[in-house]
Structure 1
């Protein structure tokens, strides 16, 4: 049944959040561009990262095809351990510290319920648009209310960024944008895009910008099988 125009953005967000708890598995395409500018370095420090991930919930397990500054990998996460796929049926435990951040990043930046929960404190600020099939929830903001959110985005998005020496109170948030596309019938999330522009208070020449695109599909289709690893 088509949802009426009186449905509020907060109602839609809450229904999508509830629906996300029912997701057993899903595919997600993820792309990130992050740029850090500091006075000591002539050129901006730019990080680009993409992956296609089969994400399984309860417990969290995944298979991902990752393209990152550290290389291209097929990675498996199962039984609280990250493995690289060396060849068919052969897996090797990952010992790289940066890559071992990936499970936390997958959970924070791709896992739907966790991600939507990050946005919940702003749910009364979303505006709503509609097309024939989707609700589009949009939020634009700035200022201290978004410091904690942006710090979490920095620490749990790009591999290696958790090492950046940033205190929440030092962040000046110039702009934050969040856009969530939600199916009007099922309330399944089709896509989430986030971006921000920030400065460091103690040095206004230092900036951090980030843009992430996420596309969700094949809900509960068991597109891939998580293998058992001895």
Structure 2
């Protein structure tokens, strides 16, 4: 049960975008007519893809609300999180701060509040453990896995190409400053695509668990993506989804609402692990 619970939580973020040939409808009649207003979604897609090739660094802020119903627990678990991340792509480095609050669920987790911080760099993967108040250096195998990931997987626009086949399912709107893309990705048509993306986020030992994915169902998945008209950078991504997993004739469900923003494109020059962390972190063996 613990492994299934952890794997269920790992299905938290899937970034998506797509392309088609329709022009964007104005959000309201006050939108001024500009040259970029006549672009089709296919053209916006191409320009966003081109802009993403120049990405060197980015800052993101994320708000995540989750409600989980777990077999054997009489009360739903509510998890509210805020995450702030600085990311540099070449070489890959990251600084992350996260605040998490858990209400309901099992008595062992009720009322828990957690503030964590992490650094990832060529020196390794370091995480602050709030209950003991110490920094830990995670196993080298774990940091190597992340550091060897293709840069494209760290790019907020990388998922653009993956949804080309669903181009006709997007709605395409605009206001004076941005393009707004929306997609309802529920139903059998999107099921395998969503499962494949979820699998990419899972640890290697869970990717081979076919039963896990056979018992996983996505419901009511919706995306809303905002693209700046001048830079063609993704500025905001909102997502809501409901997951359902069958476990021994019982169902575990998770409803999730995510709001993320992307700023500081190419303004973060480097990320350094503080010397105090390097000197005092406790090494954790795999």
Instruction: Give the secondary structure class of the aligned counterpart of 2:157.
Output: helix
Q: Deviations over 1:100-142 (max 9, x none)?
A: 8xx59xx899631334455455344221111110000111131
CA contact under 8 A between 2:88 and 2:270: conserved in structure 1?
Answer: no
When residues 199 and 184 of structure 1 are mapped into structure 2, their CA distance, relative to the original with a 3 A threshold, is same
Q: Which runs of 5+ in 2 are unaligned?
A: 1-32, 102-112, 279-286
Deviates more, 1:54-63 or 1:170-179: 170-179
Give the count of matched residue pairs: 218
Preserved contact between residue 110 and residue 214 of structure 1 (Cα < 8 Å): no
Distance in 1 (CA, whole Å) between partners of 2:211 and 2:80 is 20
Q: Residues of 1 paired with 2:65 and 2:180: CA distance?
A: 23
TM-score (norm 2): 0.62
Whether 2:115 is the aligned partner of 1:83: answer no
C-alpha distance in structure 1 between counterparts of 2:73 and 2:153, whole Å? 28
Q: Over alpha carbons, which structure has the higher Rg?
A: 2
Distance 1:14 1:219, change over 3 A: same
Q: 1:177 aligns with which of 215, 222, 230?
A: 222
In the TM superposition, 1:43-58 aligns within 5 A as 43-58=75-90
Which has the larger share of strand? 1
- Aligned pairs for 1:158-177 (under 5 A) are 167-177=212-222
Moved over 6 A (4+): 107-110
**Corresponding residue of 2:115:** 72
Specify whether residues 153 and 31 from structure 1 end up closer, same or farther in structure 2 by C-alpha distance, changes over 3 A only.
farther
Q: Deviations over 1:124-183 (max 9, x none)?
A: 4221111110000111131123334544458849xxx99x99633333333111111001
